[in-house]
Chain A
Amino acid sequence: GENVEQHPSTLSVQEGDSAVIKCTYSDSASNYFPWYKQELGKGPQLIIDIRSNVGEKKDQRIAVTLNKTAKHFSLHITETQPEDSAVYFCAASRETGFQKLVFGTGTRLLVSP
């Protein structure tokens, strides 16, 4: 079955720095890749997603890149702020049919003032 690996498991940056989280997936049929942010005591919140027909997508300080040949995708956060501190999860699924999201193991991001 599908397997998604995520690195690093923890990431500490200074406020204003950039943060990059990387994921690889195993199922070549996967073509939908969302990223979720989970704060303590809350459910995951979608922050950005990308589909296989594009290589990059940007939303203000957040961007995601996708390399289907290498089967990896990355989350980029620029100008980090303390409120960006949370656990981030990547996920993968096939876009058509009934979707089953397969999640990575998560990255704990800590942004220090």
Chain B
Amino acid sequence: EPEVTQTPSHQVTQMGQEVILRCVPISNHLYFYWYRQILGQKVEFLVSFYNNEISEKSEIFDDQFSVERPDGSNFTLKIRSTKLEDSAMYFCASKGGTYQPQHFGDGTRLSIL
């Protein structure tokens, strides 16, 4: 069964550094998402991406965040200057159609030191 894959599984970064989290969505999917889950808290929506542009974003997704689909397969989340509070699990998801379920990757655990 096709899967969403995320790399790396764990990323450790110094505060203030840039970090790029990578995702390979399911190949025929059209909608792409990033979510964040701070330890012990609920899953929070960050951003959705469709037709090569951001379709929705939350208040969490400020100017420090950006997303890109640099080629036909990858979908990346960049945090420009990381803060301690960016430490969380970051999940990528994709779906094939408007009312289809989202399929999630296993997440990248981001630890900011």
Question: Does B associate with A?
Answer: no
Binding site for B on A (CB under 8 A): none
Binding site for A on B (CB under 8 A): none
